[in-house]
Structure 1
């Protein structure tokens, strides 16, 4: 299980930044080989961060960003693998041109990696900004990495990320797009082939135009709205190549009956949401309503062993 948590630092100054850097490099919590830097050296990260700020005259305001990627004690994995996952997480586009110091801590029952990001981009001097959509994308990428390494993937710790995935539902102009995104994501991990993917999307009410002649896949909603896979965010996770890669992974992780059970459980949960008059979401946004909702957990418990949670897929 990997949970991404951003820490609000009360003392976000040069002094606070140095304290945070010293904390994550504390030899009582980590080892030198579990400490690394993206576009900076772990030994001189503090000085390099300051130099970047001075180069662009961006020495005021927020100085650093601190976040943690935590894993469950139930994940039987070594600190080296957790460190590698953290390093690969920084390949996400939101971290491009930002200096990042990271260290995997082994002092707690659960392994976790700390990240300290310089608040100023070293190429153009832009300050760090992270939209809700980008935050969701980082979490999704973290989940993809966990899946690749065979780790457990869940929604997060109880009470955290409660509204994960629901932020777009408040915008009626965008909610159908987010609902489509959820449908594609679910079918991506419940299918072992292109044909199974299309069939599962059909079950959720979507038409799929996927041909070899066209570069992009076009999805059509129940009311005729069309949307291409290149517009789903992040687009690199929904290319034809990425989908085929997921299908191959599914073949390795589960047999056909397990994936069919996953899809059936999802449809059962959707039926529960659609029949619930207290549901604040439109019945056509049932997947959005399932995101982070207790009903999803109850549906899983009531049909335990039927497969939706075969890798605790969200």
Structure 2
């Protein structure tokens, strides 16, 4: 199957049309600068001869490729739709390395004709500068037939894969009749491979934890509710989905792996039915001996104020103490999203400790001090830049540039501090609520454990 993709071109398009059209044909006419720049960029990218190693193939559908820019804009002006997306840029890359340029261009033309040829102008090019030949498509965003914009399935590239498969099969090229659509996004795949937690890895861990403690779907939904998840696990749905706390976009569970399809989850729940909730006939006698010793958490609680709040939060996230790191799966569910933001939280904590800030008033006072210094340094930098523009000797010029460089570095540091202050002011209330929720849940768990021990005794 040919690898394919499409994306809109709104503003910077010069590299694209010159990559697909002859640069000698880009003389400016009576179009606005923004329109001309947009279409010129996309066509120049598709026709740039410097990015090809041997030869270059260019053809047009419903347009002359040498005059594509002018003809695209003419249609937009005719229907009064010069604003917005100027064109769409796509590509079709072939798996075979022995395919001829002529065949690749023929396949690209056939594909573009079937998808857009009835209503839109298209420039089709074939590039030979990589190991895999690939076709580029530049499609006018406005139809020359009725003036309507490219919309819905005409720009939904996921719908085109079937047409691409059909064309490749007809021309005797490779295609995958049963592609694996459960493959994870490469960005998340490489992050997880490097050991970096992602949204998907956190969902897997939470699901595994919820499934391990559930015997049926009702118990699973109850545990997901406790973890702050929204979900759609109806038997009538083809794909079950969940939405983690703090997100709006649902995740189809089957994309997390083979063990997370609808059937696999039900199988895992059924396996738990006989395992969970069973107790021995002769309960063991447990003698409780509790000794209340002061802990690091108790010491942190005594700090108080914003600094104490952040220290306590870092402790609950497992960041403190550093010599005893906590696995994310052992954290309370309400802290798992914030565990991904440890770098920012620790930077804010260090700021509060360094400046000895305990209240919001002290925080706002420190932020006002930063703003004052930023304004002063900005004024000094402006004076130095004005001085550089005057006629001064080399020694004074070098000294002024060094001072500007020093001011720039100081401004970067101050702006980072200001952003940390803003983050503290925004997050402090939410952190207090999260801590209260986690502590309440811990108290409930301790109460249940005490009752269980008493019953066993």
TM-score, normalisation: structure 1? 0.48
The structure where helix makes up a greater share of residues is 2
Q: Name which one, 1 or 2, has greater alpha-carbon Rg.
A: 2
TM-score, normalisation: structure 2? 0.34
